């Protein structure tokens, strides 16, 4: 990055911060945010935004799939102003369905290319907030105690040796799990992908609602293996749990965790102020302090120590346009419900 570009970005950031601080805030002003990341992250964002701007944040927390369902259900009378984070596919689907508002933040030039591409692809109805690769983790102590081999590939998860040892979230509620289905389809083709999902179903002991639920169960020793975004698994490692993470040998998909303003939001001006702040280094740097390890979208936001480096992982050319479409999501979820989840275990 040359000196001129750094100077330009610094100037834009300063202008945004000045604008946020200088705009008069009505007494009792509140922005309503639906949050699709872990609670400590949500809480830290809410507290810091209020400290920086004087605007209160009402946060409610739901997994990405459930969040989109709520926003769709409230379309005629939105109660949410901003949908913060969660896997990018549901955000793209919400944009396609006209559930979110077009907004071009003045901070867009500061963002990584993948974040800007997310905005462009959605008609500027969402924007990339962070990036993370899909994979799985296992509890090394449980694995040794049960004398099980360490899984290295997606295909290993259908091995009968892992009977009742796996957790993956329910894809109807979780963007993590939906992306797992979409990743399998792109790697293996649809028929083989669903064969693998059926094999995993026989080995699955629980389908939690949230994507991070599976890896949290691994850390607590409640299950041996959990499908997760790898940065979510880093939280358990940082907290001292015996978790080992695996970037699968066949390659894997990745998410662009996103943020959107809800169409018809009751507080559009406050929503835009929150949105701009959340894209700034000030709004993104606090994430690492909550022991989350995502690479954030602003180029000036430091990458947390210990974060997963995307360059170290075999990534597929994930087709966000196809699998971010509402019709394709519904088709795959219906097929999963019918051909996988309905099977006895």
Which stretches within the chain are classed as H helix? 3-22, 39-53, 64-73, 88-96, 113-121, 140-145, 175-188, 190-203, 212-219, 230-238, 268-279, 281-284, 286-289, 320-323, 326-336
Superfamily of domain 132-253+323-341: Periplasmic binding protein-like II (3.40.190.10)
Fold agreement between 3-131+256-303 and 132-253+323-341? yes
Architecture of the CATH domain 3-131+256-303: 3-Layer(aba) Sandwich (3.40)
Structure confidence at residue 2 (pLDDT): 44
- Averaged over 111-137, what is the pLDDT? 96
Looking at the predicted structure, is the pLDDT value of residue 8 above 90? Answer: no
Task: Considering only residues 201 and 307, tell me which one the structure prediction assigns the higher pLDDT.
Answer: 201
Report the C-alpha gap between 19 and 291 in whole angstroms.
30
pLDDT band, residue 25 (cuts 50/70/90): low
Q: Domain-by-domain residue ranges, the chain?
A: 3-131+256-303, 132-253+323-341
pLDDT digits (tens, 9 = 90+) for 227-276: 999 999 998 998 999 999 999 999 999 989 999 999 999 999 999 999 99
Residue 17 has pLDDT above 70, yes or no: no
Which pTM value belongs to this model? 0.81
> What is the overall mean pLDDT for the chain?
91
Distance (Å, whole) CA 309 – CA 314: 11
Task: Tell whether the model's pLDDT for residue 292 goes beyond 50.
Answer: yes
């Amino acid at each position: 990055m040359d000196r001129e570009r750094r100077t330009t970005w610094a100037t834009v950031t300063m202008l945004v911060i000045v604008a946020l601080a200088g705009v008069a805030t009505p007494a009792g002003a509140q922005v309503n945010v639906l949050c699709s990341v872990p609670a400590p992250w949500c809480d830290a964002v809410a507290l810091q935004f209020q400290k920086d701007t004087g605007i209160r944040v009402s946060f409610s927390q739901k997994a990405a799939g459930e969040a989109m369902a709520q926003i769709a259900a409230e379309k005629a009378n939105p109660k949410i102003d901003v949908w913060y984070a969660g896997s990018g596919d549901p955000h793209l689907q919400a944009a396609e369905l006209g559930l979110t508002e077009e907004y071009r933040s003045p901070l867009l030039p500061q963002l990584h290319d993948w974040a800007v591409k997310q905005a462009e692809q959605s008609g500027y109805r969402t924007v990339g907030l962070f990036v993370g690769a899909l994979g799985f983790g296992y509890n090394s102590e449980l694995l040794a105690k049960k004398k099980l081999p360490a899984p290295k590939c997606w295909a290993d998860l259908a091995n009968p040796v892992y009977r009742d040892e796996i957790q993956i979230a329910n894809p109807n509620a979780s963007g993590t799990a939906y992306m797992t289905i979409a990743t399998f389809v792109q790697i293996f083709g649809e028929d083989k992908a669903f064969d693998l999902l059926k094999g995993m179903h026989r080995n699955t002991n629980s389908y939690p609602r949230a994507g991070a639920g599976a890896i949290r169960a691994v850390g607590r020793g409640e299950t041996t293996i959990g499908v997760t975004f790898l940065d979510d698994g880093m939280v358990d490692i940082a907290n001292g749990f015996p978790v080992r993470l695996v970037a699968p040998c066949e390659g894997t998909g990745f998410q662009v965790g996103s943020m959107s303003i809800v169409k018809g939001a009751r507080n559009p001006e406050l929503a835009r102020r929150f949105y701009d702040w959340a894209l700034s280094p000030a709004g993104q740097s606090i994430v690492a302090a909550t022991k989350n390890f995502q690479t954030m979208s602003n180029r000036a936001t430091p990458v947390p120590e210990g974060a997963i480096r995307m360059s170290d992982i075999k990534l597929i050319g994930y087709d966000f346009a196809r699998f971010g479409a509402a019709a394709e999501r519904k088709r795959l979820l219906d097929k999963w419900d019918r051909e996988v989840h309905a099977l006895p275990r």
